[in-house]
Amino acid sequence: MTPAEEEILSAAIITSGECLAGVNLTGRDFSTMAGGLLFDLIKTIAESGGHADLITITKAINGLPADEKRGYPAVSVINALFAIGASGSASPFHAEVIAEEAARRRLIAAGQWLVQYGTEGMDVDSLADKALEAVQGAVSGVSTTVDAIGATLADTINSFGEPVTYSETPWDSINQLIQGWRPGGLYIIGARPSVGKTIAGLQAAIKLTALGPVAFISLEMSEVELQKRMISLDAKIDIGHITRNNITEDDMQRMSPAIKRWETMPLYVDKTHGAKFSDISRHVWSVKRQHGLAAVVIDYLQLMESSDPKKREYEVVTENSRKLKLLAQQLDVPVIALSQLNRSSEQRDGKVPQLSDLRASGGVEQDADVVILLHRDLMKSPHEIDLIVAKNRHGITGTADMDFCGHYSEIRDRYQQAA
């Protein structure tokens, strides 16, 4: 047993288990089976209202069948733990040390597992998925405490007078409906092809860089294509001039003041073009570790693949949607995923999209905190676009009438004047 394990077991015996209140450890976190079994036994006795002292512990072990009794420490070891005389005042600190040591052992074991299966030829994508699961499982139990819901109720009530933390979207009309991007939330922006979902995603990402680094995963456009749209949007240069390499003197004058800002803009585009969740997760966590993270934007959901090629599209999209929601919660940042709509809206009067138009919509609709559907009549009014908040878990739904300025790669509030 490690010194921290000996200290916490000694304190647990001396205090009859009282020092374990609020300690989130299990026997699995101990370095030896004997120590883990003893810890679980003391905790079980204490949580059932008994006194886990030297006598009751010894009696409980002696009452076990012979094959179960073998794993527990000998009476002499339990007596030696009692003789240490730990008071229990440092038990929370010792619990943190034990949890960290346990996580380290599990990480080492995960590494050894990867070496074994990696050399045996397991499929790389499956190996990457298993690696992420192993690492997350290894650190999942590090030093957390469990409180009853009432324990933090006063903090919640006191927070009523404080503003809710939202990050503004680029559009005031949408902010009025959803208030902004909420940390830990999954936001879906859905549209038919060529309606403007990539423009909406890029606008959102650029706006969020004012708050910190943004991880952008583009599964459809290259980094160069995104850069051209960014220049068009930020400098108000006709995208046609950029794509045709027909930059005017006026365009250059618009670009010059912004070049330094663009060079330091904390927008990190995934250059690997990996389409599996494991690839996306690696990019996002790398940005977070190296620079910090304010948000994640993914273009687009239906292009994300599965490590299992046998899965149908519905299963793949549902699986990836759930993983993105969990990722948002783990990172405590908004995750904005663009999504393609099916053709159903084109058969409907007015061609206005609905939630059911999301391709493989079941899981996406369920997981999303907010769903914004883009609607634009490409024939009758190509310069107008509706942003329809079709789902809002934390507020109201509604429609924002906007202007679509495709030549500037921009969606703009209708009352906003052109530059």
User: pLDDT of the chain along its 419 residues, tens only?
Assistant: 899 999 999 988 988 888 887 677 888 889 999 999 999 999 888 877 778 888 889 999 998 888 888 889 999 999 999 888 887 777 888 888 888 888 888 888 878 877 777 777 666 666 676 666 666 565 554 444 445 667 667 776 776 766 667 889 999 999 999 989 999 999 999 988 888 899 999 999 999 999 999 999 988 888 888 888 888 888 888 888 988 888 888 988 888 888 888 888 899 988 766 677 877 887 888 888 889 999 999 988 888 887 677 778 888 888 888 888 888 888 889 999 999 888 877 777 778 888 888 866 667 888 889 999 999 888 888 889 999 999 998 889 999 999 998 888 889 998 755 44
Q: How far is CA 79 from CA 15, 82, 198, 415, in A?
A: 14, 5, 68, 79
Helix, strand, or coil (residue 405): strand
Q: Where are the alpha helices (DSSP H) in 309-372?
A: 313-331, 361-367
Nearest to 187, CA basis, from 354, 368, 348, 27: 368
Q: Give all strands (DSSP E) within 85-203, no chain letters.
A: 186-191
pLDDT at 362: 66
What span, in angstroms and rounded, lies between the C-alpha atoms of 390 and 369?
11
Nearest to 232, CA basis, from 390, 406, 21, 386: 406
pLDDT at 144: 44
Spelled out in words, what is the top-level CATH class assigned to the domain 172-413?
Answer: alpha beta
| Architecture label for domain 3-139 | Orthogonal Bundle (1.10)
Contacts of 124 (CB under 8 A, 6+ apart): none
Helix, strand, or coil (residue 105): helix
- Give the residue range(s) of CATH 3.40.50.300 domains in the chain: 172-413
- Give the residue range(s) of CATH 1.10.860.10 domains in the chain: 3-139
